Structure 1
Amino acid sequence: MAVSVSGSRSVGALRWQGWLVGLVALAAGLVFAPLGLYVWASGGPGGAGAAGAGPPRAAVEDVRVSGCRVDPVSRRVVAAVEAAGRPGGVGAYVVTVEFREKAEAVPGERAAQALVKVPGVAPGATERGEAVGPVWPAATVPWCGVAGAEFERAP
């Protein structure tokens, strides 16, 4: 039974409105708090990843293996490597290429590796190089991938 105060709403109606306001505030917090965290973490205005404030891009992101084949004469595996130039100047990449029988690494098994240097990579340009790996067994298809890369700006 609702008690009525002269000229105002009942106590039951006020209690219901209080719950409604509380639920709306809770819903708003659940929606906008993660959104605010996302904007802050992804480098929104003044956020942790703001332009120029974050660490430089890893050199591994600029290189890729574009081909993997076995040389028919020497039976060595050969990986074609492409390096994309970085803004800000010409430089060279030293890429570590890994050679395996499968794309998934086997724990405890050591894969063959080779280094290839890709010099004179200008901003916006793509330069190529080849990494020559070990003699490959017949009747097996090699997998070639980037294991690591370093970039050094030219003087």
Structure 2
Amino acid sequence: MSALKWQGWLVGLVTLAGLLVFAPLGLYVWASGGGAGEAAPRAAAEDVRVTGCRIDPASRRVVAAVTAAGRPQGPGAYVVTVEFRESADPVPGGRAAQALVKIPGVALGATEYGEAVGPVWPIATVPWCGVADAEFSPEP
């Protein structure tokens, strides 16, 4: 046999071995990926956002308005960690003030509101408010 013929057989055998190894793996990944139309659960932080950031004139505390949208899992509550900084860009090694706000009873298709009250803010400094983290707990 010529060398070219052996190379053809070798390519065929390597291809067959690859199919025998990777086809079951591919079927496993495909089958465990959930049913058709099911999406992977999204992070709770994707459902919440800060819609306002202001300084309360009476107390000089910064106040963040937070909205939460319902999830397909059904009604539940969010616990949102809101961060207060002097700029949108975090300072390396710096620590930002944080506050928690609980938004209960958020149903599918509904938007609920809450307010996070932060620290007393310095005069002549514009605050930045943002979502640092969020957790969703479904109602039983």
**Normalising by the residue count of structure 1, what TM-score does the alignment of the two structures yield?**
0.67
Aligned-pair CA distance for 1:87: 1.2
Aligned partner of 1:90 in structure 2 is: 75
State yes or no: 1:74 paired with 2:27: no
Aligned-pair CA distance for 1:89: 1.1
Q: Output the CA distance in 2 between the equivalents of 1:114 and 1:77.
A: 10
Aligned-pair CA distance for 1:55: 3.9
Structure 2 counterpart of 1:136, one-letter code: W
Q: Higher relative contact order at CA 8 Å, sep ≥6: structure 1 or structure 2?
A: 2
Aligned partner of 1:124 in structure 2 is: 109
Q: Secondary structure at the match of 2:54?
A: strand
Q: Output the CA distance in 2 between the equivalents of 1:89 and 1:48.
A: 22
Aligned-pair CA distance for 1:64: 0.1
Q: Output the CA distance in 1 between the equivalents of 2:72 and 2:33.
A: 22
The number of residues matched between the two structures is 111
**Greater strand proportion:** 2
Q: Output the CA distance in 1 between the equivalents of 2:46 and 2:83.
A: 16
Q: Determine which of 46, 49, 64 is the counterpart of 2:49.
A: 64
Q: Output the CA distance in 1 between the equivalents of 2:43 and 2:88.
A: 22
User: What RMSD in Å do the two structures reach over aligned CA positions?
Assistant: 2.0
Q: Which has the larger radius of gyration?
A: 1
Regions of 4+ moved over 2 Å: 45-52
Q: Which runs of 5+ in 1 are unaligned?
A: 1-44
State yes or no: 1:109 paired with 2:67: no
Structure 2 counterpart of 1:95, one-letter code: V
**Normalising by the residue count of structure 2, what TM-score does the alignment of the two structures yield?**
0.74
Q: Which runs of 5+ in 2 are unaligned?
A: 1-29
Structure 1 counterpart of 2:103, one-letter code: V
Aligned partner of 1:141 in structure 2 is: 126
